[in-house]
Amino acid sequence: MKRLNNRRVLVTGATQGIGRAIAEKFLAEGATVLLTDFVEDDVINGVTDNLESRFPGLVFGKRLDVEDERQVIEGFQFIRDVLGGCDVLVNNAGINRQSPSELFSASDFDKVLAVNLRGAFLCSREAIKLFLKQGSGVIINNSSNHELIPKPGFIAYSASKGGLGNLTRTLALEYADKGIRVNAVAPGATVTPLNASWTGDSAKRKKVENHIPLGRAASPEEIAGVFAFLASEEASYITGQTIYVDGGLSLHTDFKTNWSS
């Protein structure tokens, strides 16, 4: 029996990269999935049509900008009206901006936090309203190893992921006695469109992978498998945790050579 049979799942940022891999993994595990993203309708329709051919009757799509509170509310009204409720929320939508911190614009800082952190809050809030009525539910946030590790030049991204870790733990504690579990997955270097600056250049990719203890970047599918586990009953006693799926990057690789002694 598939691990996620009859689960109703909403995934944000689901048309490419890790989000799409999560959607496909959940579908393969038997879930019904509402894919949402802030892209044109024809892009969402193309992805859902492609998946519908392999998972008939299990795939739905809707344009949703997680920055827009009204659209978030409408998205959860949609999954309630069409699927009768929601069992799992995956907060995957995320963006990035790069600049030295002394030159980082307030507008870029606000934009990154609006998508990565405020958007996750809005979606979580609406999901929890449904979960409380049902008596159960799961939220899984797509964080980053930069939830823990600073990333100079990416101050907004680091701050958003640090905040997402605390949002995860706060909601987990607040709703643990209501049948609601909240966890996060923290990927490291992953081959996705978000990392196109180095994934398609062999020299740049080698430079990135030289920093990873396992010696290679992750595939989106490897990350998606951890989301599926956390959504399943196999993880029924796990809440408030961030699972680092980063090839060992969070092991502080500088200490592999014992320079400190």
Q: List the chain domain ranges.
A: 8-245
Q: How far apart are CA 114 and CA 31, in angstroms?
A: 29
User: What's the pLDDT at 254?
Assistant: 82
What radius of gyration, in Å, describes the C-alpha atoms of the chain?
18
**Is CATH 3.40.1390.10 correct for 8-245?**
no
Which residue has 């579908």 as its token pair?
A: 27
Q: Which percentage of the chain shows pLDDT scores above 90?
A: 92
pTM: 0.96
Q: How far apart are CA 80 and CA 82, in angstroms?
A: 6
- Residues catalogued as catalytic: 157
Give pLDDT tens digits for 81-123: 999 999 999 999 999 999 999 999 999 999 999 999 999 999 9
